[in-house]
């Protein structure tokens, strides 16, 4: 554990705070120490504790594994894993290291309206969008087929397989947030037509702007890329969106009670009309996995790529591992060497906003849970 407390910087409302960062990536010790010293010098009196949530053998450290003194006096917390409420009785601000808060919904601290919550929405968008487009291109250009040929030393005649490029095809992005917008940016460069779905109506240019954290030079900040927008929470609206002859569907929604199993038998039947390729980089709970299995085995969809499952890890005996035309990765699309620096950036920005009484970035709406 790193602990740093300095006395420099301007006096701020953080002078009596203790920030605990419980971070689930291997430590870059010099970068972390540099940031902690910078933060404690900037905010007079602020104390920062940093604990890695990864053991040397890559297993996860649970909040309850930490020594009790690590939790003493903590008033601000940055974490991916919710600790028991009794460990954080004095917390006034929680920054969730992931883009969603689905793990927090029934947590007493989350249900306390006096505790501010923000998320890391936006810091994972570039790498997740690359995963999405990479999975799509791999399918379109049948890379897995040629990989199997390599294992047998088979040189196949170049005219034996059909290959489709992306130009003129259509991508539907179910959840047009930071990740969805960067998917749109990359898809646009490939020549795909973009259809966007959001829960809230965005019929005016100002309403289509992105108000979340955005890595410079990425995304669709002004919301100008979609050729068509859809909105609403009713199933009929979702089904109308899915019925738009989509070649590629990207699921990038927050997981809430409203969006759980938003894609099931009925939706796969709709997608079957164009044999849509389905990508899920949100949460495993968005898709009825039995329905996905059936859709792949019966050819309702041309294929799928999922970085998330329900449960996680996906048991080795689960039938999805053997489903045709399916790519499964173990919830890794968010990973990139740049994640730590982006996390530190948004955390500092929100500390500054707390210190100056300004609205936070990515503040969580406790009614909609994102």
For domain 2-123+336-356, give the CATH number.
Answer: 3.40.50.720
Q: Which residues pair with residue 51 across a beta bridge?
A: 22
Domain ranges of the chain: 2-123+336-356, 125-328
Q: Which residues pair with residue 228 across a beta bridge?
A: 195
pLDDT of residue 295: 98
Q: Phi first, then psi: what are they for 3, rounded to 5°?
A: -135, 130
Residue 229's alpha-carbon distances to 125, 205, 224, 253, 274, in angstroms, are 20, 12, 11, 15, 19
pLDDT of residue 1: 62
Interatomic CA distance for residues 94 and 30, integer angstroms? 25
Q: Which residues pair with residue 171 across a beta bridge?
A: 194, 248
- What pTM did the predictor assign? 0.93
Which residues are within 8 A (CB) of 258 and not within 5 positions of it... i.e. 6 or more apart? 233
pLDDT of residue 8: 46
| Domains 2-123+336-356 and 125-328 are alike in CATH topology | yes
Interatomic CA distance for residues 132 and 301, integer angstroms? 17
Contact 346, 120 (CB under 8 A): yes
Exposed/middle/buried for 67, CB within 10 Å: 0-12, 13-18, 19+? exposed
CA angle 354, 357, 362 (to 5 degrees): 55
Q: What is the pLDDT along the chain (370 residues), one digit of tens a residue?
A: 655 554 445 556 899 999 999 998 766 889 999 999 999 999 999 999 999 988 888 888 999 999 999 999 999 999 999 999 999 999 999 999 999 999 999 999 999 999 999 999 999 999 999 999 999 999 999 999 999 999 999 999 888 888 999 999 999 999 999 999 999 999 999 999 999 999 999 999 999 999 999 999 999 999 999 999 999 999 999 999 999 999 999 999 999 999 999 999 999 999 999 999 999 999 999 999 999 999 999 999 999 999 999 999 999 999 999 999 999 999 999 999 999 999 999 999 999 999 999 999 999 999 999 9
Q: Which of 337, 131, 341, 126 is nearest to 219 (CA)?
A: 126
Q: Which of 236, 252, 234, 101 is nearest to 175 (CA)?
A: 252
Exposed/middle/buried for 81, CB within 10 Å: 0-12, 13-18, 19+? middle
For domain 125-328, give the CATH number.
Answer: 3.40.50.720
């Amino acid at each position: 554990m790193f602990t740093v407390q300095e006395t420099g910087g301007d006096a701020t409302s953080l002078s009596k705070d203790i920030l605990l960062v419980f971070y689930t990536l291997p430590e870059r010790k010099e970068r972390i120490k540099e940031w902690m010293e910078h933060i404690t010098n900037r905010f007079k009196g602020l104390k920062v504790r940093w604990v890695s949530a990864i053991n040397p053998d890559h297993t996860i450290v649970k909040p309850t594994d930490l020594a009790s003194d690590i939790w003493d006096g903590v008033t601000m917390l940055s974490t991916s894993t919710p600790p028991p409420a009794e460990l954080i009785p004095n917390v006034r601000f929680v920054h969730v290291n992931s883009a969603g808060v689905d793990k927090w919904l029934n947590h007493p601290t989350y249900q306390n309206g006096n505790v501010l919550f923000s998320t890391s929405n936006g810091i994972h968008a570039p790498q997740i969008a690359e995963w999405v487009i990479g999975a799509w291109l791999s399918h379109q250009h049948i890379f897995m087929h040629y990989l199997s040929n390599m294992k047998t030393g088979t040189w196949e005649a170049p005219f034996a397989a059909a290959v489709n490029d992306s130009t003129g095809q259509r991508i539907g992005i179910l959840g047009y947030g930071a990740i969805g917008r960067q998917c749109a940016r990359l898809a646009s460069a490939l020549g795909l037509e973009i259809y966007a779905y959001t829960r809230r109506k965005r019929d005016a240019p100002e309403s289509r702007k992105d108000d979340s954290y955005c890595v410079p030079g990425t995304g669709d900040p002004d919301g100008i890329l979609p050729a068509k927008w859809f909105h609403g929470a009713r199933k009929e609206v979702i089904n109308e969106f899915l019925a738009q002859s989509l070649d590629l569907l990207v699921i990038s929604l927050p997981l809430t009670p409203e969006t759980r199993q938003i894609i099931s038998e009925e939706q796969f039947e709709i997608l079957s009309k164009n044999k849509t390729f389905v990508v899920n980089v949100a949460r495993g709970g968005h898709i009825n996995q039995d329905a996905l299995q059936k859709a792949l085995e019966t050819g309702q969809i041309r294929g799928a790529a999922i970085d998330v499952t329900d449960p996680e890890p996906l048991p080795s005996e689960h039938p999805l591992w053997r489903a045709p035309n399916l790519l499964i990765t173990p919830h890794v699309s968010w990973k990139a060497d740049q994640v730590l620096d982006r996390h530190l950036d948004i955390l500092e920005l929100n500390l500054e906003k707390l210190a100056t009484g300004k609205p936070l970035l990515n503040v969580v709406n406790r009614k909609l849970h994102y």
